[in-house]
């Protein structure tokens, strides 16, 4: 597929890059449920009632290709150095496409060289530059959000990368370093340099992940440029897409934490946009998904994947009634067999004691509480 941000059906929905999370296995898991529907059972009536007339009836998301996945960031320096682990992170399984690979760095030559190497080797449908990461180990090297304070350098990076690649280039920014308004002029600089798309996280670097994302401020970026803009931040349930689009007037949305433990969110967005009742994901479907994601994860990382998969288990089961008593075992088991046994037990207990479900997709504050626990060291 040739990715053209200008002609993709609106609204665009994309999976946001998340370090240690949106790896190949996770992108495949998202794609698996996006292609086959949400797989749960419909309950209603509900948010369709609130759907804006503008977006109602849209079926833009139908079909597996309509969701664009952004892979977690990789270091341009590590790619150019030929670091095996980093190069392994850029490999793409055919099921994941269309896929955008995100890169971070601050040297225009290294960034363009890294993009050239990845394009020749892995052929992603697009590249994205991380100009929003707030964590110290990234910004202290003028990477990530630090580039928002260096518009000339940021522009040089975009120009040099554009010259090195044949696919679209996007840039992910925040509202600013400390001032929310910084993004407007910065966005124009990036557009002039040749960026094909901007994705804007509606918080400043200083806000980190705290406070509400300002979708109206993202709208000021949208109004200032003629390239497409995606709205990001706080879209943790499918229903939030409607106010986010109404307030930002963006071309689409970029979903981050809302997809953790809920890869069905893209099908749910489709339901909301087309005025259908949104599907609630039952425990049986959740467990089926966990088993699939676990298998994909271990295919990527080998047997130690059972241990590194724990971060995803937290998101899949957090807040589900009855899951608490399994938590310690879920988080200490290190064999695939034991994990499957615990999942079986969860299903048995659930069928004996059916209870109302409460999970991330139904509890907005839960996603935020969980994020506080995410190690800042890996997030951006």
Position among 14, 19, 69, 80 found at the interface with ligand FMN (CB under 6 A): 19
Closest among 8, 37, 52 to 273, alpha carbons compared? 52
Q: Which stretch binds ligand FMN (CB under 6 A): 49-57, 157-165, 228-236, 280-288?
A: 228-236
Closest among 10, 45, 41 to 264, alpha carbons compared? 41
232 binds ligand FMN (CB under 6 A): yes
The crossing angle, in degrees rounded to 10, of helices 241-248 and 265-273 is 70
106 binds ligand FMN (CB under 6 A): no
Binding track, positions 334-363, relative to ligand FMN; x by CB under 6 A: ------------------------------
Binding track, positions 114-133, relative to ligand FMN; x by CB under 6 A: ----------------x-xx
Position among 168, 258, 263, 319 found at the interface with ligand FMN (CB under 6 A): 258
Whole-angstrom distance, CA of residue 172 vs CA of residue 100: 12
Compute how many other C-beta atoms are within 10 angstroms of the C-beta atom of residue 34: 25
Whole-angstrom distance, CA of residue 110 vs CA of residue 157: 9
Compute how many other C-beta atoms are within 10 angstroms of the C-beta atom of residue 84: 9
Q: Which stretch binds ligand FMN (CB under 6 A): 30-38, 249-257, 319-327, 336-344?
A: 249-257
Q: Which secondary structure element, helix H or strand E, spans residue 344, and what is its range?
A: helix 336-352
Position among 139, 231, 235, 272 found at the interface with ligand FMN (CB under 6 A): 235
* Contact of 199 with 174, CB cutoff 8 Å: no
Q: How far is the CB of 104 from ligand FMN (least distance, A)?
A: 8
Tell me the two tokens of residue 374: 């995410």
Per DSSP, the three-state class of 285 is helix
* 250 carries an active-site annotation: no
Q: Looking at beta carbons, which residue is closest to ligand FMN?
A: 256
Name the residues annotated as catalytic.
133
Which residues are at the interface with ligand FMN (CB under 6 A)?
Answer: 16-19, 21, 72-73, 102, 130, 132-133, 172, 201, 232-235, 255-258, 371, 374, 379-380
């Amino acid at each position: 597929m040739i990715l053209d941000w200008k002609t993709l059906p609106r609204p665009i929905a994309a999976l946001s890059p998340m370090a240690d999370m949106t790896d190949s296995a996770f992108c495949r898991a998202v794609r698996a449920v996006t292609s086959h529907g949400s797989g749960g059972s419909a309950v209603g009536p509900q948010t369709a009632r609130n759907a804006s007339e503008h977006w109602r009836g849209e079926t833009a998301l139908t079909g597996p290709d309509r969701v664009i996945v952004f892979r977690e960031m990789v270091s341009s320096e590590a790619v150019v150095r030929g670091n095996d682990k980093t190069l392994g992170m850029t490999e793409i399984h055919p099921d994941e496409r269309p896929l955008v690979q995100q890169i971070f760095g601050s040297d225009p030559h290294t960034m363009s060289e890294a993009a050239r190497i990845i394009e020749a080797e892995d052929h992603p449908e697009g590249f994205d530059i991380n100009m929003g990461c707030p964590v110290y180990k990234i910004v202290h090297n003028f990477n990530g959000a630090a580039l928002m304070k260096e518009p000339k350098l940021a522009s040089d990076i975009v120009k040099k990368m554009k010259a090195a690649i044949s696919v679209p280039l996007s840039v992910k920014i925040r509202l600013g370093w400390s001032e929310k308004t910084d993004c407007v002029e910065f966005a124009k600089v990036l557009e002039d340099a040749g960026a094909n798309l901007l994705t804007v996280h509606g918080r400043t670097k200083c806000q980190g992940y705290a406070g509400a994302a300002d979708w109206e401020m993202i709208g000021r970026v949208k109004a200032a440029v003629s390239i497409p803009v995606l709205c990001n931040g706080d879209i943790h349930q499918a229903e939030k897409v409607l106010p986010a689009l109404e307030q930002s007037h963006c071309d689409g949305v970029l979903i981050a934490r809302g997809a953790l433990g809920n890869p069905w969110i893209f099908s749910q967005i489709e339901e909301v946009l087309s005025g259908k009742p949104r599907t609630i994901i039952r425990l049986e479907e959740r467990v089926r998904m966990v088993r699939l994601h676990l298998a994909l994860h271990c295919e990527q990382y080998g047997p130690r994947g059972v241990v590194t998969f724990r971060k995803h288990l937290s998101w899949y089961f957090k807040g589900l009634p009855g899951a608490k008593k399994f938590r310690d075992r879920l988080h200490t088991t290190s064999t695939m067999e034991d994990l499957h046994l615990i999942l079986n037990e969860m299903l048995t207990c659930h069928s004996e004691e059916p209870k109302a479900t409460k999970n991330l997709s139904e509890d907005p504050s839960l996603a935020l509480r969980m994020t506080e626990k995410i190690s800042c060291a890996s997030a951006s």
